[in-house]
Amino acid sequence: MTQTLEALSRRFDTLTSIRGIVHTMKTISAINAVPYERAARSIEAYHHTVRSGLRAFVARTGPITLPKAEPVDSIVVVFGSDHGLCGNYNELLAEKVQAELVPTTAEGAALRVLCVGARMHDALAGQGLGPESVFLPPASAEGIGRLAGSIVTRLDDIGHGEPYHRKVTLAFTRRAGRGQHEPALLPLLPLGQAFLEGLADRPWKSRSLPDYSMPTHELFAALLRSHIFASVFRASAEAMVTENAARLALMQQAERSVDERLDEVKGQLRTVRQDDITTELLDVIIGFEALRNSSRKPPRGT
Protein backbone atom coordinates (compact mmCIF):
# COMPACT_ATOMS: atom_id res chain seq x y z
CA MET A 1 0.00 0.00 0.00
CA THR A 2 2.86 2.36 0.86
CA GLN A 3 4.53 1.71 -2.49
CA THR A 4 1.28 2.49 -4.32
CA LEU A 5 0.94 5.74 -2.37
CA GLU A 6 4.51 6.71 -3.21
CA ALA A 7 4.00 5.91 -6.90
CA LEU A 8 0.85 8.02 -7.04
CA SER A 9 2.63 10.88 -5.26
CA ARG A 10 5.46 10.79 -7.80
CA ARG A 11 2.95 10.71 -10.65
CA PHE A 12 1.08 13.67 -9.16
CA ASP A 13 4.32 15.68 -8.84
CA THR A 14 5.25 14.85 -12.44
CA LEU A 15 1.86 15.91 -13.75
CA THR A 16 2.06 19.13 -11.76
CA SER A 17 5.43 19.93 -13.34
CA ILE A 18 4.09 19.13 -16.81
CA ARG A 19 1.11 21.40 -16.22
CA GLY A 20 3.45 24.22 -15.25
CA ILE A 21 5.43 23.77 -18.47
CA VAL A 22 2.26 23.64 -20.59
CA HIS A 23 0.88 26.74 -18.89
CA THR A 24 4.16 28.57 -19.55
CA MET A 25 4.11 27.58 -23.23
CA LYS A 26 0.49 28.70 -23.50
CA THR A 27 1.34 32.08 -21.99
CA ILE A 28 4.35 32.54 -24.27
CA SER A 29 2.26 31.71 -27.35
CA ALA A 30 -0.40 34.23 -26.37
CA ILE A 31 2.23 36.92 -25.74
CA ASN A 32 4.20 36.21 -28.92
CA ALA A 33 1.15 36.51 -31.16
CA VAL A 34 0.58 40.16 -30.20
CA PRO A 35 3.63 41.78 -31.87
CA TYR A 36 3.10 39.71 -35.03
CA GLU A 37 -0.52 40.85 -35.13
CA ARG A 38 0.62 44.46 -34.79
CA ALA A 39 3.17 43.95 -37.56
CA ALA A 40 0.44 42.59 -39.83
CA ARG A 41 -1.71 45.66 -39.19
CA SER A 42 1.24 47.99 -39.73
CA ILE A 43 2.17 46.49 -43.08
CA GLU A 44 -1.43 46.88 -44.20
CA ALA A 45 -1.08 50.65 -43.74
CA TYR A 46 2.18 50.59 -45.72
CA HIS A 47 0.59 48.43 -48.42
CA HIS A 48 -2.28 50.90 -48.68
CA THR A 49 0.27 53.66 -49.31
CA VAL A 50 1.93 51.57 -52.04
CA ARG A 51 -1.42 50.92 -53.73
CA SER A 52 -2.15 54.64 -53.54
CA GLY A 53 1.16 55.23 -55.28
CA LEU A 54 0.21 52.76 -58.00
CA ARG A 55 -3.15 54.52 -58.46
CA ALA A 56 -1.33 57.84 -58.73
CA PHE A 57 0.99 56.28 -61.30
CA VAL A 58 -1.98 55.04 -63.33
CA ALA A 59 -3.75 58.40 -63.05
CA ARG A 60 -0.66 60.09 -64.45
CA THR A 61 0.39 57.61 -67.15
CA GLY A 62 -2.83 55.73 -67.97
CA PRO A 63 -3.62 52.00 -67.65
CA ILE A 64 -0.69 49.65 -67.04
CA THR A 65 0.00 47.15 -69.79
CA LEU A 66 2.57 44.52 -68.94
CA PRO A 67 4.41 42.54 -71.61
CA LYS A 68 2.50 39.36 -72.42
CA ALA A 69 5.25 36.88 -71.79
CA GLU A 70 4.51 33.32 -70.76
CA PRO A 71 6.14 32.62 -67.38
CA VAL A 72 9.05 30.23 -67.81
CA ASP A 73 9.03 28.77 -64.30
CA SER A 74 6.63 28.81 -61.39
CA ILE A 75 7.95 29.90 -58.02
CA VAL A 76 6.31 29.17 -54.70
CA VAL A 77 7.40 30.66 -51.39
CA VAL A 78 6.30 28.44 -48.49
CA PHE A 79 6.22 29.83 -44.95
CA GLY A 80 6.75 27.13 -42.33
CA SER A 81 7.52 26.81 -38.62
CA ASP A 82 10.69 25.67 -36.90
CA HIS A 83 9.50 26.01 -33.31
CA GLY A 84 7.30 22.92 -33.07
CA LEU A 85 4.44 22.23 -30.64
CA CYS A 86 1.90 23.41 -33.24
CA GLY A 87 0.67 20.09 -34.63
CA ASN A 88 0.92 19.18 -38.31
CA TYR A 89 1.35 22.83 -39.29
CA ASN A 90 4.10 22.19 -41.87
CA GLU A 91 2.74 18.92 -43.21
CA LEU A 92 -0.70 20.30 -44.10
CA LEU A 93 0.79 23.20 -46.03
CA ALA A 94 3.25 20.94 -47.87
CA GLU A 95 0.39 18.66 -48.89
CA LYS A 96 -1.59 21.61 -50.27
CA VAL A 97 1.37 22.82 -52.30
CA GLN A 98 1.84 19.34 -53.72
CA ALA A 99 -1.87 18.85 -54.46
CA GLU A 100 -2.66 22.24 -56.02
CA LEU A 101 0.51 23.73 -57.50
CA VAL A 102 2.33 20.72 -58.96
CA PRO A 103 -0.59 19.68 -61.25
CA THR A 104 -1.08 23.26 -62.50
CA THR A 105 2.58 23.83 -63.41
CA ALA A 106 2.88 24.26 -67.16
CA GLU A 107 4.35 21.41 -69.14
CA GLY A 108 8.05 21.89 -69.61
CA ALA A 109 8.22 24.42 -66.76
CA ALA A 110 9.71 23.79 -63.35
CA LEU A 111 8.21 24.48 -59.93
CA ARG A 112 10.93 26.26 -58.01
CA VAL A 113 10.38 26.13 -54.26
CA LEU A 114 11.64 28.61 -51.68
CA CYS A 115 10.77 27.81 -48.10
CA VAL A 116 11.05 29.32 -44.64
CA GLY A 117 12.21 26.90 -41.95
CA ALA A 118 14.21 23.66 -41.92
CA ARG A 119 11.17 21.66 -40.79
CA MET A 120 9.18 22.93 -43.75
CA HIS A 121 12.09 21.83 -45.95
CA ASP A 122 11.70 18.30 -44.57
CA ALA A 123 7.90 18.39 -45.01
CA LEU A 124 8.26 19.49 -48.65
CA ALA A 125 10.94 16.89 -49.28
CA GLY A 126 8.50 14.29 -47.98
CA GLN A 127 6.10 15.38 -50.72
CA GLY A 128 8.77 15.05 -53.40
CA LEU A 129 9.50 18.79 -53.57
CA GLY A 130 13.09 19.88 -53.10
CA PRO A 131 13.40 23.54 -52.03
CA GLU A 132 16.31 25.33 -53.66
CA SER A 133 16.54 27.98 -50.93
CA VAL A 134 15.79 27.80 -47.22
CA PHE A 135 15.35 30.97 -45.16
CA LEU A 136 15.54 31.26 -41.39
CA PRO A 137 12.16 32.08 -39.82
CA PRO A 138 11.95 35.34 -37.89
CA ALA A 139 12.74 35.07 -34.19
CA SER A 140 10.70 38.20 -33.44
CA ALA A 141 8.43 40.68 -35.18
CA GLU A 142 11.48 42.80 -36.02
CA GLY A 143 12.86 39.90 -38.08
CA ILE A 144 9.93 39.83 -40.51
CA GLY A 145 11.36 42.77 -42.46
CA ARG A 146 14.70 40.99 -42.75
CA LEU A 147 13.01 37.85 -44.01
CA ALA A 148 10.79 39.70 -46.50
CA GLY A 149 13.78 41.63 -47.84
CA SER A 150 15.77 38.41 -48.33
CA ILE A 151 12.88 36.76 -50.19
CA VAL A 152 12.31 39.78 -52.45
CA THR A 153 16.05 39.89 -53.24
CA ARG A 154 15.98 36.21 -54.12
CA LEU A 155 12.99 36.74 -56.40
CA ASP A 156 14.85 39.60 -58.09
CA ASP A 157 17.83 37.32 -58.68
CA ILE A 158 15.65 34.62 -60.17
CA GLY A 159 13.81 37.13 -62.38
CA HIS A 160 17.02 38.98 -63.35
CA GLY A 161 15.63 42.24 -61.99
CA GLU A 162 12.20 41.82 -63.62
CA PRO A 163 10.29 39.39 -61.39
CA TYR A 164 6.88 40.28 -62.87
CA HIS A 165 7.74 37.98 -65.78
CA ARG A 166 7.63 35.07 -63.33
CA LYS A 167 4.69 33.25 -61.79
CA VAL A 168 5.03 33.58 -58.03
CA THR A 169 2.72 32.13 -55.37
CA LEU A 170 2.85 32.61 -51.62
CA ALA A 171 1.92 29.56 -49.52
CA PHE A 172 1.21 30.15 -45.86
CA THR A 173 -1.18 29.21 -43.07
CA ARG A 174 -3.85 31.74 -42.21
CA ARG A 175 -6.49 32.03 -39.55
CA ALA A 176 -9.94 30.62 -40.18
CA GLY A 177 -13.18 30.93 -38.25
CA ARG A 178 -13.68 29.71 -34.68
CA GLY A 179 -10.01 29.70 -33.79
CA GLN A 180 -9.06 27.32 -36.60
CA HIS A 181 -6.37 27.71 -39.25
CA GLU A 182 -6.04 26.60 -42.85
CA PRO A 183 -3.34 26.49 -45.55
CA ALA A 184 -3.69 29.19 -48.21
CA LEU A 185 -2.16 29.92 -51.61
CA LEU A 186 -1.93 33.58 -52.67
CA PRO A 187 -0.99 34.38 -56.30
CA LEU A 188 1.51 37.24 -56.24
CA LEU A 189 2.89 37.50 -59.77
CA PRO A 190 2.24 38.18 -62.55
CA LEU A 191 -0.13 40.97 -61.58
CA GLY A 192 -3.67 39.87 -62.21
CA GLN A 193 -5.81 41.68 -64.74
CA ALA A 194 -8.40 42.41 -62.06
CA PHE A 195 -5.72 44.11 -59.95
CA LEU A 196 -4.57 46.28 -62.87
CA GLU A 197 -8.11 47.15 -63.91
CA GLY A 198 -8.95 48.03 -60.33
CA LEU A 199 -6.14 50.59 -60.35
CA ALA A 200 -7.40 52.11 -63.57
CA ASP A 201 -11.08 52.18 -62.55
CA ARG A 202 -10.52 54.04 -59.30
CA PRO A 203 -10.54 57.81 -59.79
CA TRP A 204 -7.86 59.98 -58.24
CA LYS A 205 -9.55 61.52 -55.19
CA SER A 206 -7.77 64.84 -55.04
CA ARG A 207 -7.87 68.22 -56.75
CA SER A 208 -4.07 68.06 -57.02
CA LEU A 209 -3.02 65.94 -59.97
CA PRO A 210 -0.20 63.45 -59.30
CA ASP A 211 3.13 63.90 -61.00
CA TYR A 212 6.63 62.44 -60.77
CA SER A 213 10.10 63.17 -62.07
CA MET A 214 11.62 59.67 -62.07
CA PRO A 215 11.79 57.65 -65.27
CA THR A 216 8.53 55.75 -65.72
CA HIS A 217 10.13 52.30 -65.81
CA GLU A 218 12.17 52.90 -62.65
CA LEU A 219 9.21 54.29 -60.73
CA PHE A 220 6.94 51.40 -61.67
CA ALA A 221 9.66 48.87 -60.80
CA ALA A 222 10.10 50.53 -57.37
CA LEU A 223 6.35 50.53 -56.72
CA LEU A 224 6.06 46.92 -57.84
CA ARG A 225 8.94 45.87 -55.61
CA SER A 226 7.28 47.61 -52.66
CA HIS A 227 4.02 45.79 -53.48
CA ILE A 228 5.87 42.46 -53.51
CA PHE A 229 7.67 43.30 -50.26
CA ALA A 230 4.42 44.26 -48.50
CA SER A 231 2.69 41.08 -49.73
CA VAL A 232 5.56 38.85 -48.57
CA PHE A 233 5.75 40.70 -45.23
CA ARG A 234 1.99 40.29 -44.72
CA ALA A 235 2.10 36.56 -45.51
CA SER A 236 5.00 36.04 -43.10
CA ALA A 237 3.30 37.99 -40.31
CA GLU A 238 0.04 36.09 -40.82
CA ALA A 239 1.91 32.78 -40.77
CA MET A 240 3.58 33.69 -37.46
CA VAL A 241 0.28 34.79 -35.90
CA THR A 242 -1.35 31.54 -37.02
CA GLU A 243 1.57 29.45 -35.78
CA ASN A 244 1.31 30.93 -32.29
CA ALA A 245 -2.49 30.58 -32.37
CA ALA A 246 -2.14 26.90 -33.32
CA ARG A 247 0.39 26.37 -30.54
CA LEU A 248 -1.89 28.16 -28.07
CA ALA A 249 -4.83 25.95 -29.03
CA LEU A 250 -2.77 22.78 -28.61
CA MET A 251 -1.41 23.96 -25.25
CA GLN A 252 -4.94 24.70 -24.06
CA GLN A 253 -5.99 21.20 -25.09
CA ALA A 254 -2.95 19.71 -23.37
CA GLU A 255 -3.66 21.73 -20.23
CA ARG A 256 -7.21 20.38 -20.10
CA SER A 257 -5.92 16.82 -20.52
CA VAL A 258 -3.35 17.28 -17.75
CA ASP A 259 -6.00 18.78 -15.46
CA GLU A 260 -8.26 15.81 -16.06
CA ARG A 261 -5.40 13.43 -15.30
CA LEU A 262 -4.50 15.41 -12.17
CA ASP A 263 -8.09 15.15 -10.92
CA GLU A 264 -8.00 11.42 -11.52
CA VAL A 265 -4.71 10.99 -9.64
CA LYS A 266 -6.00 13.19 -6.80
CA GLY A 267 -9.01 10.90 -6.43
CA GLN A 268 -6.75 7.84 -6.40
CA LEU A 269 -4.51 9.49 -3.81
CA ARG A 270 -7.49 10.24 -1.54
CA THR A 271 -8.71 6.67 -1.85
CA VAL A 272 -5.30 5.17 -1.15
CA ARG A 273 -4.69 7.49 1.83
CA GLN A 274 -8.10 6.66 3.28
CA ASP A 275 -7.45 2.95 2.86
CA ASP A 276 -4.05 3.38 4.49
CA ILE A 277 -5.56 5.28 7.43
CA THR A 278 -8.31 2.68 7.80
CA THR A 279 -5.77 -0.15 7.79
CA GLU A 280 -3.65 1.56 10.42
CA LEU A 281 -6.69 2.19 12.62
CA LEU A 282 -7.74 -1.44 12.31
CA ASP A 283 -4.24 -2.53 13.26
CA VAL A 284 -4.37 -0.31 16.36
CA ILE A 285 -7.82 -1.59 17.35
CA ILE A 286 -6.86 -5.22 16.82
CA GLY A 287 -3.68 -4.73 18.86
CA PHE A 288 -5.61 -3.03 21.63
CA GLU A 289 -8.20 -5.84 21.73
CA ALA A 290 -5.44 -8.42 21.82
CA LEU A 291 -3.73 -6.71 24.76
CA ARG A 292 -7.00 -6.33 26.62
CA ASN A 293 -7.96 -9.98 26.13
CA SER A 294 -4.53 -11.14 27.27
CA SER A 295 -4.80 -9.05 30.44
CA ARG A 296 -8.18 -10.68 31.33
CA LYS A 297 -6.87 -14.27 31.17
CA PRO A 298 -6.39 -15.86 34.67
CA PRO A 299 -2.84 -16.79 35.57
CA ARG A 300 -1.91 -20.44 35.13
CA GLY A 301 -2.15 -22.74 38.14
CA THR A 302 -5.12 -21.03 39.80
pLDDT digits (tens, 9 = 90+) for 170-196: 999 988 877 688 899 999 888 776 676
Instruction: Report CA-CA distances (Å) from 189 to 164, 195, 227, 236, 260.
Output: 6, 11, 10, 17, 50
pLDDT digits (tens, 9 = 90+) for 186-244: 998 887 766 766 776 777 777 787 888 888 888 888 888 899 999 999 999 999 999 88
Nearest to 78 by CA among 35, 130, 41, 37: 130
Tens-of-pLDDT digits for all 302 residues of the chain? Answer: 445 778 888 888 888 899 898 898 888 888 888 889 899 889 999 998 888 888 888 877 877 776 665 656 788 999 998 887 777 888 999 999 998 888 777 666 678 899 999 999 999 999 988 899 999 999 888 999 999 999 999 988 887 766 566 788 999 998 887 768 889 999 988 877 667 667 767 777 777 878 888 888 888 888 888 999 999 999 999 999 998 888 888 888 888 999 999 998 888 888 888 887 888 888 888 877 777 777 666 666 55
**Whole-number pLDDT of residue 279:** 81
Q: Could you tell me the residue ranges of all domains in the chain?
A: 2-19+255-296, 26-252
**Whole-number pLDDT of residue 76:** 92
**Whole-number pLDDT of residue 68:** 64
This prediction's pTM: 0.79
Instruction: Report CA-CA distances (Å) from 171 to 78, 80, 182, 236, 259.
Output: 5, 9, 11, 10, 37
CATH class of 26-252: alpha beta
Pairing of strands 74-79, 111-116: parallel
